[in-house]
Structure 1
Amino acid sequence: MTSVEFESRVVAWVRQQPEVEALIQIGSRVQSGGVVDAWSDWDYQLVLSDTKRFLHRDWLKEIAPVWCAHLERTERKVVKLSAVFAGGFEADFVLLPAWQMKLACWGLNHPQWQKWFPSMLRRGVYNLQLIGVPGYRVVLGGPEWEKRLAGLRGDWSPRIMSAEDFDFHVTSFWRHAVWVFKKTMRGEFRAAQRWHAREVREHLYALLEEEARVSGLKPRPEARQAERWLTPERLAQTSVQLTPQRAALAQALLAEVALFREATASVATLRGFKLGDYSALENWLRSELGKLSS
Protein backbone atom coordinates (compact mmCIF):
# COMPACT_ATOMS: atom_id res chain seq x y z
CA MET A 1 0.00 0.00 0.00
CA THR A 2 1.35 3.41 -0.98
CA SER A 3 0.72 6.75 0.70
CA VAL A 4 -1.72 7.70 -2.05
CA GLU A 5 -3.57 4.42 -1.64
CA PHE A 6 -3.76 4.91 2.12
CA GLU A 7 -5.24 8.39 1.74
CA SER A 8 -7.74 7.05 -0.79
CA ARG A 9 -8.83 4.37 1.66
CA VAL A 10 -9.45 6.97 4.37
CA VAL A 11 -11.53 9.17 2.09
CA ALA A 12 -13.48 6.24 0.64
CA TRP A 13 -14.33 4.99 4.13
CA VAL A 14 -15.42 8.43 5.34
CA ARG A 15 -17.74 8.85 2.34
CA GLN A 16 -19.70 5.82 3.55
CA GLN A 17 -20.30 7.18 7.08
CA PRO A 18 -23.55 9.15 7.41
CA GLU A 19 -22.45 10.64 10.75
CA VAL A 20 -19.46 12.41 9.21
CA GLU A 21 -20.31 16.00 8.30
CA ALA A 22 -16.76 16.94 7.34
CA LEU A 23 -13.26 15.53 7.07
CA ILE A 24 -10.59 18.16 7.61
CA GLN A 25 -6.92 17.45 7.19
CA ILE A 26 -4.37 19.38 9.24
CA GLY A 27 -0.69 18.95 10.01
CA SER A 28 2.50 19.13 7.99
CA ARG A 29 1.04 17.42 4.91
CA VAL A 30 -1.19 20.42 4.19
CA GLN A 31 0.84 23.26 5.70
CA SER A 32 2.69 25.76 3.58
CA GLY A 33 6.34 24.94 4.00
CA GLY A 34 5.52 21.76 5.90
CA VAL A 35 8.17 19.06 5.85
CA VAL A 36 6.70 15.83 4.50
CA ASP A 37 8.87 12.73 4.46
CA ALA A 38 8.64 8.99 4.95
CA TRP A 39 8.02 9.52 8.67
CA SER A 40 5.14 11.99 8.37
CA ASP A 41 1.79 10.90 9.74
CA TRP A 42 -1.71 11.96 8.69
CA ASP A 43 -3.75 14.29 10.89
CA TYR A 44 -7.51 14.41 10.43
CA GLN A 45 -10.45 16.01 12.16
CA LEU A 46 -13.65 14.00 11.90
CA VAL A 47 -16.61 16.34 12.37
CA LEU A 48 -19.48 14.12 13.51
CA SER A 49 -23.19 14.52 14.01
CA ASP A 50 -22.94 11.70 16.56
CA THR A 51 -19.63 10.66 18.12
CA LYS A 52 -20.83 7.61 20.05
CA ARG A 53 -20.22 5.03 17.31
CA PHE A 54 -16.62 6.19 16.92
CA LEU A 55 -15.54 6.07 20.57
CA HIS A 56 -13.79 2.73 20.13
CA ARG A 57 -11.01 1.29 17.99
CA ASP A 58 -12.84 -1.36 15.96
CA TRP A 59 -13.90 0.85 13.04
CA LEU A 60 -10.31 1.57 12.07
CA LYS A 61 -9.91 -1.89 10.55
CA GLU A 62 -12.54 -0.92 7.98
CA ILE A 63 -9.92 1.43 6.50
CA ALA A 64 -6.92 -0.92 6.53
CA PRO A 65 -5.36 -3.61 8.73
CA VAL A 66 -4.42 -2.11 12.11
CA TRP A 67 -1.26 -2.91 14.01
CA CYS A 68 -2.04 -0.74 17.03
CA ALA A 69 -4.61 1.87 18.07
CA HIS A 70 -4.90 4.20 21.03
CA LEU A 71 -7.86 6.31 22.22
CA GLU A 72 -7.21 9.28 24.51
CA ARG A 73 -8.50 12.64 25.69
CA THR A 74 -5.79 15.16 24.91
CA GLU A 75 -4.60 18.15 26.89
CA ARG A 76 -6.83 20.28 24.64
CA LYS A 77 -9.85 18.33 25.94
CA VAL A 78 -10.64 16.58 22.67
CA VAL A 79 -10.90 12.86 21.94
CA LYS A 80 -8.22 11.54 19.60
CA LEU A 81 -7.92 8.09 18.12
CA SER A 82 -4.42 7.32 16.89
CA ALA A 83 -3.60 4.28 14.82
CA VAL A 84 -0.64 2.56 13.23
CA PHE A 85 -1.84 0.72 10.15
CA ALA A 86 -0.11 -2.12 8.33
CA GLY A 87 3.00 -0.86 6.62
CA GLY A 88 3.67 1.70 9.35
CA PHE A 89 1.12 4.25 8.15
CA GLU A 90 0.21 6.38 11.16
CA ALA A 91 -2.91 8.53 11.40
CA ASP A 92 -4.60 10.62 14.08
CA PHE A 93 -8.36 11.14 14.01
CA VAL A 94 -9.72 13.85 16.31
CA LEU A 95 -13.41 13.17 16.96
CA LEU A 96 -15.31 16.47 17.06
CA PRO A 97 -19.02 16.93 17.72
CA ALA A 98 -20.38 18.95 14.80
CA TRP A 99 -22.27 21.41 17.02
CA GLN A 100 -19.07 22.28 18.90
CA MET A 101 -17.11 22.74 15.69
CA LYS A 102 -19.84 24.94 14.20
CA LEU A 103 -19.92 27.09 17.33
CA ALA A 104 -16.13 27.53 17.28
CA CYS A 105 -16.29 28.41 13.58
CA TRP A 106 -18.98 30.98 14.32
CA GLY A 107 -16.62 32.50 16.87
CA LEU A 108 -13.84 32.51 14.30
CA ASN A 109 -15.99 34.52 11.94
CA HIS A 110 -16.88 37.15 14.57
CA PRO A 111 -13.55 38.34 15.99
CA GLN A 112 -15.04 41.75 16.79
CA TRP A 113 -17.05 40.12 19.60
CA GLN A 114 -14.28 38.00 21.10
CA LYS A 115 -14.01 39.99 24.34
CA TRP A 116 -17.55 38.88 25.21
CA PHE A 117 -16.99 35.19 24.45
CA PRO A 118 -17.28 32.77 27.39
CA SER A 119 -14.03 31.04 28.28
CA MET A 120 -15.03 27.73 26.67
CA LEU A 121 -15.71 29.43 23.34
CA ARG A 122 -12.44 31.35 23.53
CA ARG A 123 -10.61 28.09 24.14
CA GLY A 124 -12.36 26.45 21.21
CA VAL A 125 -11.45 29.33 18.91
CA TYR A 126 -7.85 29.28 20.12
CA ASN A 127 -7.56 25.53 19.52
CA LEU A 128 -8.93 25.95 16.01
CA GLN A 129 -6.41 28.69 15.31
CA LEU A 130 -3.60 26.62 16.76
CA ILE A 131 -4.15 23.71 14.41
CA GLY A 132 -5.76 25.49 11.45
CA VAL A 133 -3.84 28.71 10.87
CA PRO A 134 -0.62 26.88 9.83
CA GLY A 135 -2.66 25.11 7.14
CA TYR A 136 -5.68 22.89 6.58
CA ARG A 137 -7.63 21.20 3.78
CA VAL A 138 -11.34 20.44 3.69
CA VAL A 139 -11.23 16.93 2.22
CA LEU A 140 -14.97 16.38 2.56
CA GLY A 141 -17.61 18.89 3.56
CA GLY A 142 -17.75 21.15 0.54
CA PRO A 143 -18.27 24.92 0.31
CA GLU A 144 -20.28 25.01 3.54
CA TRP A 145 -17.28 24.01 5.64
CA GLU A 146 -14.87 26.01 3.53
CA LYS A 147 -16.96 29.07 4.39
CA ARG A 148 -17.03 28.23 8.10
CA LEU A 149 -13.27 27.77 8.29
CA ALA A 150 -12.57 30.93 6.30
CA GLY A 151 -12.50 32.66 9.67
CA LEU A 152 -9.03 31.19 10.14
CA ARG A 153 -7.84 33.81 7.67
CA GLY A 154 -9.64 36.61 9.49
CA ASP A 155 -8.37 39.54 11.51
CA TRP A 156 -7.56 37.71 14.72
CA SER A 157 -4.84 38.76 17.09
CA PRO A 158 -2.69 35.75 17.94
CA ARG A 159 -2.99 34.45 21.48
CA ILE A 160 0.00 35.68 23.41
CA MET A 161 1.24 34.98 26.90
CA SER A 162 -0.56 37.01 29.55
CA ALA A 163 0.94 38.22 32.82
CA GLU A 164 -1.04 35.46 34.55
CA ASP A 165 0.37 32.83 32.16
CA PHE A 166 3.87 34.14 32.82
CA ASP A 167 3.43 33.93 36.58
CA PHE A 168 1.98 30.41 36.27
CA HIS A 169 4.94 29.10 34.29
CA VAL A 170 7.51 30.81 36.54
CA THR A 171 6.07 29.54 39.81
CA SER A 172 5.40 26.07 38.37
CA PHE A 173 8.98 25.76 37.15
CA TRP A 174 10.49 26.57 40.54
CA ARG A 175 8.08 24.33 42.41
CA HIS A 176 8.81 21.35 40.14
CA ALA A 177 12.54 22.04 40.12
CA VAL A 178 12.54 21.58 43.89
CA TRP A 179 10.45 18.41 43.53
CA VAL A 180 12.92 16.96 40.98
CA PHE A 181 15.83 17.82 43.30
CA LYS A 182 14.18 16.00 46.21
CA LYS A 183 13.47 12.92 44.07
CA THR A 184 17.11 12.94 43.06
CA MET A 185 18.21 13.18 46.70
CA ARG A 186 16.00 10.21 47.61
CA GLY A 187 17.61 8.08 44.93
CA GLU A 188 14.40 8.01 42.87
CA PHE A 189 16.38 8.75 39.75
CA ARG A 190 13.85 7.62 37.19
CA ALA A 191 11.03 9.49 38.89
CA ALA A 192 13.25 12.58 38.85
CA GLN A 193 14.03 11.99 35.19
CA ARG A 194 10.33 11.65 34.36
CA TRP A 195 9.21 14.76 36.24
CA HIS A 196 12.07 16.80 34.84
CA ALA A 197 11.01 15.98 31.29
CA ARG A 198 7.31 16.31 32.00
CA GLU A 199 7.15 19.47 34.11
CA VAL A 200 10.45 21.36 34.31
CA ARG A 201 10.96 21.36 30.55
CA GLU A 202 7.28 22.03 29.85
CA HIS A 203 7.47 25.41 31.61
CA LEU A 204 10.95 26.15 30.28
CA TYR A 205 9.80 25.73 26.68
CA ALA A 206 6.73 27.88 27.30
CA LEU A 207 9.09 30.76 28.13
CA LEU A 208 11.45 30.00 25.25
CA GLU A 209 8.47 29.97 22.88
CA GLU A 210 7.30 33.38 24.09
CA GLU A 211 10.83 34.79 23.91
CA ALA A 212 11.13 33.62 20.31
CA ARG A 213 7.71 35.01 19.36
CA VAL A 214 8.42 38.46 20.80
CA SER A 215 11.80 38.42 19.03
CA GLY A 216 10.08 38.07 15.66
CA LEU A 217 10.57 34.34 15.16
CA LYS A 218 7.82 31.82 14.46
CA PRO A 219 7.79 29.27 17.27
CA ARG A 220 5.53 26.23 17.42
CA PRO A 221 3.88 24.99 20.62
CA GLU A 222 5.11 21.97 22.55
CA ALA A 223 8.69 22.46 21.23
CA ARG A 224 7.59 21.35 17.78
CA GLN A 225 10.23 22.05 15.16
CA ALA A 226 12.22 23.86 17.86
CA GLU A 227 15.36 23.22 15.82
CA ARG A 228 13.98 25.77 13.35
CA TRP A 229 13.06 28.59 15.72
CA LEU A 230 15.46 28.39 18.65
CA THR A 231 18.53 30.58 18.26
CA PRO A 232 21.91 28.82 18.07
CA GLU A 233 22.58 29.88 21.65
CA ARG A 234 19.29 28.47 22.89
CA LEU A 235 19.80 25.28 20.88
CA ALA A 236 23.11 24.72 22.64
CA GLN A 237 21.58 25.49 26.04
CA THR A 238 18.73 23.00 25.53
CA SER A 239 21.07 20.16 24.51
CA VAL A 240 20.90 18.69 28.02
CA GLN A 241 20.89 14.94 28.55
CA LEU A 242 18.76 13.33 31.26
CA THR A 243 20.54 10.25 32.59
CA PRO A 244 19.09 8.47 35.66
CA GLN A 245 22.17 9.07 37.78
CA ARG A 246 22.45 11.51 40.70
CA ALA A 247 25.31 13.65 39.36
CA ALA A 248 23.92 13.74 35.81
CA LEU A 249 20.45 14.73 36.98
CA ALA A 250 21.88 17.46 39.18
CA GLN A 251 23.97 18.85 36.31
CA ALA A 252 20.97 18.84 33.98
CA LEU A 253 18.79 20.66 36.49
CA LEU A 254 21.52 23.21 37.18
CA ALA A 255 21.85 23.93 33.48
CA GLU A 256 18.13 24.39 33.00
CA VAL A 257 17.78 26.55 36.12
CA ALA A 258 20.37 28.89 34.59
CA LEU A 259 18.57 28.88 31.22
CA PHE A 260 15.20 29.46 32.84
CA ARG A 261 16.51 32.45 34.76
CA GLU A 262 17.80 33.94 31.50
CA ALA A 263 14.54 33.24 29.66
CA THR A 264 12.30 34.65 32.38
CA ALA A 265 14.37 37.83 32.63
CA SER A 266 14.30 38.18 28.86
CA VAL A 267 10.53 37.72 28.56
CA ALA A 268 9.84 39.98 31.55
CA THR A 269 11.86 42.74 29.92
CA LEU A 270 10.43 42.26 26.43
CA ARG A 271 6.82 42.09 27.64
CA GLY A 272 6.97 44.39 30.65
CA PHE A 273 5.98 41.63 33.08
CA LYS A 274 6.74 41.86 36.78
CA LEU A 275 9.17 39.13 37.80
CA GLY A 276 9.06 38.00 41.40
CA ASP A 277 12.14 37.50 43.52
CA TYR A 278 13.07 33.82 43.55
CA SER A 279 16.75 34.40 44.33
CA ALA A 280 16.60 32.75 47.77
CA LEU A 281 15.07 29.58 46.33
CA GLU A 282 17.44 29.59 43.36
CA ASN A 283 20.54 30.11 45.49
CA TRP A 284 19.54 27.30 47.86
CA LEU A 285 18.79 24.98 44.95
CA ARG A 286 22.06 25.81 43.19
CA SER A 287 24.02 25.19 46.38
CA GLU A 288 22.41 21.80 47.00
CA LEU A 289 22.66 20.69 43.38
CA GLY A 290 26.29 21.77 43.27
CA LYS A 291 27.06 19.27 46.03
CA LEU A 292 25.58 16.47 43.94
CA SER A 293 27.09 17.34 40.59
CA SER A 294 30.70 17.63 41.73
Structure 2
Amino acid sequence: MSKYTKLINNIVAFGNSDDRIAAIILVGSQARKEKSSDEYSDLDLIVITEDTNYFVQSNDWLDKISKYHILFLEKTADGADEKRVLFEGALDVDFVIISENDARAAFKSGKKPEILLNDYRVLLDKKEMLADIFSLQQTKESYCFPQEADYVNIVNDFWYHAIWTSKKLLRGELWEAKFCLDSYTIHGILEDL
Protein backbone atom coordinates (compact mmCIF):
# COMPACT_ATOMS: atom_id res chain seq x y z
CA MET A 1 0.00 0.00 0.00
CA SER A 2 1.33 3.42 -1.01
CA LYS A 3 1.92 6.13 1.59
CA TYR A 4 -0.34 8.25 -0.63
CA THR A 5 -3.36 5.92 -0.49
CA LYS A 6 -5.25 7.84 2.19
CA LEU A 7 -4.48 11.19 0.55
CA ILE A 8 -5.62 9.89 -2.86
CA ASN A 9 -8.85 8.67 -1.27
CA ASN A 10 -9.35 12.12 0.32
CA ILE A 11 -8.73 13.84 -3.03
CA VAL A 12 -11.18 11.60 -4.87
CA ALA A 13 -13.80 12.06 -2.14
CA PHE A 14 -13.35 15.82 -2.37
CA GLY A 15 -13.59 15.66 -6.17
CA ASN A 16 -16.83 13.70 -5.93
CA SER A 17 -18.29 16.26 -3.54
CA ASP A 18 -17.34 19.37 -5.53
CA ASP A 19 -19.45 20.04 -8.63
CA ARG A 20 -16.70 22.17 -10.17
CA ILE A 21 -14.42 19.16 -10.68
CA ALA A 22 -15.07 17.11 -13.81
CA ALA A 23 -12.15 14.68 -13.66
CA ILE A 24 -8.90 13.82 -11.89
CA ILE A 25 -6.09 11.87 -13.55
CA LEU A 26 -3.06 10.41 -11.78
CA VAL A 27 0.13 10.68 -13.86
CA GLY A 28 3.85 10.35 -13.19
CA SER A 29 5.72 7.79 -11.13
CA GLN A 30 2.76 6.89 -8.88
CA ALA A 31 0.81 5.80 -11.99
CA ARG A 32 3.64 3.78 -13.55
CA LYS A 33 3.18 0.04 -13.86
CA GLU A 34 6.66 -1.07 -14.86
CA LYS A 35 9.14 1.14 -13.01
CA SER A 36 7.20 1.96 -9.89
CA SER A 37 7.65 4.97 -7.67
CA ASP A 38 10.14 5.06 -4.84
CA GLU A 39 9.90 6.48 -1.33
CA TYR A 40 10.77 9.98 -2.60
CA SER A 41 8.20 10.14 -5.39
CA ASP A 42 5.55 12.81 -5.31
CA LEU A 43 1.95 12.60 -6.46
CA ASP A 44 1.18 14.18 -9.83
CA LEU A 45 -2.47 14.92 -10.61
CA ILE A 46 -4.34 16.61 -13.43
CA VAL A 47 -7.50 18.30 -12.19
CA ILE A 48 -10.00 19.11 -14.93
CA THR A 49 -12.47 21.76 -13.84
CA GLU A 50 -14.92 24.36 -15.13
CA ASP A 51 -13.54 26.88 -12.61
CA THR A 52 -9.75 27.02 -12.98
CA ASN A 53 -9.58 30.43 -11.29
CA TYR A 54 -11.00 29.08 -8.04
CA PHE A 55 -8.57 26.15 -7.86
CA VAL A 56 -5.59 28.31 -8.78
CA GLN A 57 -6.40 31.36 -6.61
CA SER A 58 -8.07 29.78 -3.57
CA ASN A 59 -6.55 27.43 -1.03
CA ASP A 60 -9.83 26.68 0.79
CA TRP A 61 -10.34 23.48 -1.17
CA LEU A 62 -7.03 22.07 0.08
CA ASP A 63 -8.29 22.26 3.68
CA LYS A 64 -11.05 19.84 2.67
CA ILE A 65 -8.46 17.29 1.54
CA SER A 66 -5.92 17.30 4.37
CA LYS A 67 -3.69 19.55 6.46
CA TYR A 68 -0.89 21.15 4.45
CA HIS A 69 2.20 23.16 5.36
CA ILE A 70 3.63 24.73 2.20
CA LEU A 71 2.20 25.59 -1.20
CA PHE A 72 3.12 27.65 -4.20
CA LEU A 73 2.09 28.19 -7.82
CA GLU A 74 4.12 27.74 -10.96
CA LYS A 75 3.60 27.06 -14.64
CA THR A 76 4.17 23.70 -16.27
CA ALA A 77 6.43 23.46 -19.32
CA ASP A 78 3.40 23.91 -21.58
CA GLY A 79 2.01 26.86 -19.61
CA ALA A 80 -0.68 25.23 -17.46
CA ASP A 81 -1.16 26.38 -13.86
CA GLU A 82 0.28 24.01 -11.28
CA LYS A 83 -0.33 24.20 -7.55
CA ARG A 84 2.40 22.38 -5.63
CA VAL A 85 1.45 21.41 -2.09
CA LEU A 86 3.33 19.78 0.77
CA PHE A 87 0.75 17.99 2.90
CA GLU A 88 1.27 16.68 6.41
CA GLY A 89 3.67 13.75 6.54
CA ALA A 90 5.87 15.34 3.83
CA LEU A 91 3.47 14.16 1.12
CA ASP A 92 3.99 16.41 -1.87
CA VAL A 93 1.32 16.74 -4.51
CA ASP A 94 1.44 18.61 -7.81
CA PHE A 95 -2.04 19.65 -8.97
CA VAL A 96 -2.06 20.67 -12.65
CA ILE A 97 -5.28 22.66 -13.11
CA ILE A 98 -6.79 22.42 -16.61
CA SER A 99 -10.07 23.83 -17.88
CA GLU A 100 -12.72 21.50 -19.26
CA ASN A 101 -12.62 23.37 -22.57
CA ASP A 102 -8.86 22.90 -22.93
CA ALA A 103 -9.15 19.21 -21.99
CA ARG A 104 -11.96 18.62 -24.47
CA ALA A 105 -10.03 20.41 -27.22
CA ALA A 106 -6.96 18.29 -26.50
CA PHE A 107 -8.95 15.07 -26.62
CA LYS A 108 -10.89 16.16 -29.72
CA SER A 109 -7.63 16.51 -31.66
CA GLY A 110 -7.42 12.72 -31.78
CA LYS A 111 -3.92 12.71 -30.29
CA LYS A 112 -3.15 11.82 -26.71
CA PRO A 113 -1.62 14.77 -24.80
CA GLU A 114 2.08 14.21 -24.14
CA ILE A 115 1.56 14.05 -20.37
CA LEU A 116 -0.60 10.95 -20.95
CA LEU A 117 1.84 9.12 -23.22
CA ASN A 118 3.26 7.25 -20.24
CA ASP A 119 1.20 5.41 -17.65
CA TYR A 120 -1.74 7.22 -16.07
CA ARG A 121 -4.80 6.29 -14.05
CA VAL A 122 -8.19 7.95 -14.21
CA LEU A 123 -9.23 8.51 -10.59
CA LEU A 124 -12.45 10.39 -11.29
CA ASP A 125 -14.48 11.11 -14.42
CA LYS A 126 -17.85 12.53 -13.39
CA LYS A 127 -18.77 13.79 -16.87
CA GLU A 128 -17.42 10.77 -18.77
CA MET A 129 -15.18 13.09 -20.75
CA LEU A 130 -12.30 10.62 -20.59
CA ALA A 131 -14.21 7.64 -21.99
CA ASP A 132 -12.39 7.82 -25.33
CA ILE A 133 -8.96 8.59 -23.89
CA PHE A 134 -7.75 5.03 -24.38
CA SER A 135 -8.44 5.13 -28.12
CA LEU A 136 -6.45 8.30 -28.79
CA GLN A 137 -3.32 7.94 -30.87
CA GLN A 138 -0.03 7.73 -29.03
CA THR A 139 2.14 10.15 -30.97
CA LYS A 140 5.31 11.57 -29.54
CA GLU A 141 7.26 14.30 -31.27
CA SER A 142 10.71 13.23 -32.30
CA TYR A 143 13.59 14.84 -30.48
CA CYS A 144 16.59 16.23 -32.34
CA PHE A 145 19.88 16.30 -30.47
CA PRO A 146 21.66 19.67 -30.57
CA GLN A 147 24.71 20.15 -32.76
CA GLU A 148 28.01 19.80 -30.88
CA ALA A 149 28.76 23.55 -30.97
CA ASP A 150 25.29 24.39 -29.58
CA TYR A 151 25.66 21.77 -26.85
CA VAL A 152 29.11 23.05 -25.81
CA ASN A 153 27.77 26.60 -25.73
CA ILE A 154 24.86 25.61 -23.46
CA VAL A 155 27.18 23.71 -21.08
CA ASN A 156 29.62 26.62 -20.92
CA ASP A 157 26.73 29.06 -20.39
CA PHE A 158 25.59 26.96 -17.43
CA TRP A 159 29.04 26.82 -15.78
CA TYR A 160 29.66 30.52 -16.33
CA HIS A 161 26.40 31.44 -14.62
CA ALA A 162 26.95 28.88 -11.84
CA ILE A 163 30.16 30.71 -10.95
CA TRP A 164 28.45 34.10 -11.36
CA THR A 165 25.66 32.97 -9.01
CA SER A 166 28.23 31.79 -6.45
CA LYS A 167 29.94 35.20 -6.52
CA LYS A 168 26.60 36.91 -5.91
CA LEU A 169 26.00 34.62 -2.93
CA LEU A 170 29.47 35.32 -1.49
CA ARG A 171 28.81 39.08 -1.84
CA GLY A 172 25.53 38.68 0.02
CA GLU A 173 23.50 39.65 -3.06
CA LEU A 174 20.92 36.96 -2.42
CA TRP A 175 18.17 38.27 -4.71
CA GLU A 176 20.58 38.63 -7.64
CA ALA A 177 21.80 35.08 -7.05
CA LYS A 178 18.26 33.73 -6.86
CA PHE A 179 17.30 35.61 -10.01
CA CYS A 180 20.21 34.12 -11.90
CA LEU A 181 19.56 30.63 -10.63
CA ASP A 182 15.78 30.65 -11.20
CA SER A 183 15.21 32.94 -14.12
CA TYR A 184 18.33 32.54 -16.15
CA THR A 185 20.18 29.34 -15.35
CA ILE A 186 17.29 26.95 -14.75
CA HIS A 187 14.63 28.32 -17.09
CA GLY A 188 16.82 29.94 -19.74
CA ILE A 189 19.49 27.29 -20.26
CA LEU A 190 17.37 24.21 -19.66
CA GLU A 191 14.73 25.43 -22.12
CA ASP A 192 17.46 25.50 -24.79
CA LEU A 193 18.11 21.76 -24.41
Same fold (TM over 0.5): yes
In structure 2, what is the equivalent of residue 42 of structure 1? 43
AA aligned opposite 2:106: A
What's the CA shift string for 1:125-171, capped at 9, x where partnerless? 6xx22x2111111111169334332244x253x20135xx847x954
The answer to whether residue 49 in structure 2 is matched with residue 51 in structure 1 is no
What's the CA shift string for 1:218-237, capped at 9, x where partnerless? xxxxxxxxxxxxxxxxxxxx
Contact 1:64 1:85 in 2 (8 A): yes
Contact 2:14 2:64 in 1 (8 A): yes
In structure 1, what is the equivalent of residue 156 of structure 2? 177
In structure 1, what is the equivalent of residue 116 of structure 2? 132
Report the CA distance shift for 1:179/1:63 in structure 2 as closer, same or farther (over 3 A). closer
In structure 2, what is the equivalent of residue 210 of structure 1? none
Larger strand proportion, structure 1 or 2? 2
* The one of 121, 125, 148 aligned to 1:141: 125
Residues 57-68 of structure 1 aligned to structure 2 (within 5 Å): 57-68=59-70
Q: Give the root-mean-square deviation of aligned CA atoms.
A: 3.3
Contact 2:23 2:127 in 1 (8 A): no
In structure 2, what is the equivalent of residue 92 of structure 1? 94
Q: TM-score, normalised by structure 1?
A: 0.52
Please give the secondary structure, in 1, of the residue aligned with 2:132: helix
Distance in structure 2 (CA, Å) of the matches to 1:170 and 1:202? 17
Distance in structure 2 (CA, Å) of the matches to 1:71 and 1:155? 30
Distance in structure 1 (CA, Å) of the matches to 2:12 and 2:35? 22
AA aligned opposite 1:93: F
Report the CA distance shift for 1:186/1:18 in structure 2 as closer, same or farther (over 3 A). closer
AA aligned opposite 2:142: I
Report the CA distance shift for 1:144/1:172 in structure 2 as closer, same or farther (over 3 A). same
Contact 1:26 1:43 in 2 (8 A): yes
Distance in structure 2 (CA, Å) of the matches to 1:135 and 1:179? 33
AA aligned opposite 2:90: G
Residue identity (%): 20
CA deviation after TM superposition for structure 1 residue 59, in Å = 2.0
In structure 2, what is the equivalent of residue 266 of structure 1? none
* The one of 135, 138, 143 aligned to 1:161: 143
Report the CA distance shift for 1:14/1:170 in structure 2 as closer, same or farther (over 3 A). farther
Gaps of 5+ in 1: 112-124, 207-294
Please give the secondary structure, in 2, of the residue aligned with 1:92: strand
Bigger relative CO (Cα 8 Å, ≥ 6 apart): 2
- Rg larger in structure: 1
Contact 1:173 1:200 in 2 (8 A): no
Q: TM-score, normalised by structure 2?
A: 0.75
Distance in structure 2 (CA, Å) of the matches to 1:43 and 1:186? 31
Larger helix proportion, structure 1 or 2? 1
Distance in structure 2 (CA, Å) of the matches to 1:135 and 1:182? 36
Distance in structure 1 (CA, Å) of the matches to 2:165 and 2:7? 50
Distance in structure 2 (CA, Å) of the matches to 1:151 and 1:98? 19
